[in-house]
Structure 1
Amino acid sequence: MPTETAIDEDELGLIDQDLIESRRVKLEPGAELRVFGYGSLMWRPDFPYIDIVPAALHGYHRAFCIHSTHYRGTRENPGLVLGLDRGGMCHGRMFRVKPEHAQAVADGLHAREMVTGVYEPRWLKVRLEDNRIQTALAYVADRRHPQYAGKLEIAEIARRIKKAIGKTGSNVDYLKNTVVHLEEMGIHEGVLHRVLRQVEQGQ
């Protein structure tokens, strides 16, 4: 499945393919895979899993910190999509994948998330509802990547999202869809709600 941060073929030549390949996750045979989802992965995993449970990741937060120049914007008018950025805390979901499916799922996630190398796979500690700590694979925004947008003010995020349209639709639709799904999962993300209000109010 194409990622929301994928770019045009002529731009792929500018991406460090060796770096992307070096970040491919290789698992020990017989190991179960745990994956932390914080965006579309939570409601559209597209892989088999044993179960999915609420989880909290400390030290990172969900943010519109990734430029989208293909699916939700263009090179001339980039949109913004979600990434995990340093600082704060993020409520998400942890998936458990059977050992027999683990490497295939890891390879599928690599194809989905690592098209441009804007994310860096990391093994991070997440806390479950029963306070157990588990180690899970998470895709963190690479601050050195040219698609990294940095920390933006809410008004600026709203301004960029409101005017961006890409191959799969408007950036506004991406924002609304994200907020709706987070609400359905009981995750009330204040920043995303404030961005949406500004977009809808035309501010």
Structure 2
Amino acid sequence: MDQPTVPFVVFGYGSLIFKPPPHVISRVPGYLKGYVRRFAQRSPDHRGTEESPGRVVTLIHQEDWNEFSPSDPFPDTDIVWDPVYGGEVRGLLDIREAAGYTLEEVDVYGVGPAGEEVVVAHKAQVYVGRKDNPAFVADESLEDIATVIWRSIGPSGPNKDYLYHLGAAIRELAPESHDSHLSVLESLCREWDQERLLN
């Protein structure tokens, strides 16, 4: 006899948006409170190598990120909207998010029919980067981060493709959101792409 399944709900803020795991049954735009999304996670396994790690996004608690805010021109000015994914994929995600992420439970917020703030998912799972994890990187300028992203390539492809796919997916799924950190990095990398084409 099959056991009843319980939906596994996870908040996706990076590659889970444009490359969801299998068995997704729904997605809902939503946002978190008290976190920032930053390209502050080394990627030695997907978007870079051990010798030259790329950068991927991580969520970090706002109070932890405040230590690094002097080097961040956008410390907490944006509301970051992303989709929630459901499915029985915890095991796959634990492998995929193994490099320095900690699993937490959070409420995900959205906007109700009358424009009011509502909780769209209670106790969703989210993989958060902690400042003490070995892959965490902080205190890099936006230009330094963009340079690493633009140059890095790993088994999952060019690091800048990750950035471009993430930007495109967010614009499609939650056009009302704005992530200044992401936008500046994307603009810098696209500018360098254009310069390379012209040279």
TM-fit CA distance, 1:74:
2.1
Structure 1, unmatched stretches of 5+, are: 1-28
Question: Which residue does 1:6 correspond to in 2?
Answer: none
Q: Distance in 1 between matches of 2:23 and 2:139?
A: 34
Aligned-pair CA distance for 1:138: 0.5
Structure 1 residue ranges (4+ consecutive) displaced by more than 3 angstroms after TM superposition: 29-32
- Give the Cα separation in 2 of the matches to 1:95 and 1:78: 27
**How far apart are residue 126 of structure 1 and its match?**
1.5
Shift of 1:157: 0.9
- 1:124-139 superposed matches below 5 A: 124-130=106-112, 131-133=117-119, 134-139=122-127
Q: Which residue, out of 76, 92, 95, partners 1:111?
A: 95
Q: Which residue, out of 92, 98, 110, partners 2:82? A: 92
Maintained 8 Å contact 1:54/1:129: no
Residue 157 (structure 1) aligns with: 145
Give 1:151 deviation, angstroms: 4.2
Distance 1:68 1:129, change over 3 A: same
- Structure 1 residues 51 and 201, CA gap change in structure 2 (3 angstroms): closer
Secondary structure (helix, strand or coil) at the match of 2:163 reads helix
**Percent identity, aligned pairs only?**
29
8 A Cα contact 1:72 1:170, kept in partner? yes
| RMSD across aligned positions (CA) | 2.2
Structure 1 length as normaliser, TM-score? 0.72
**Aligned-partner SS, 2:33:** strand
State the TM-score, normalizing by the size of structure 2. 0.74
Any unmatched runs of 5+ in structure 2?
Answer: 63-75
In the alignment, structure 1 residue 145 sits paired with structure 2 residue 129: no
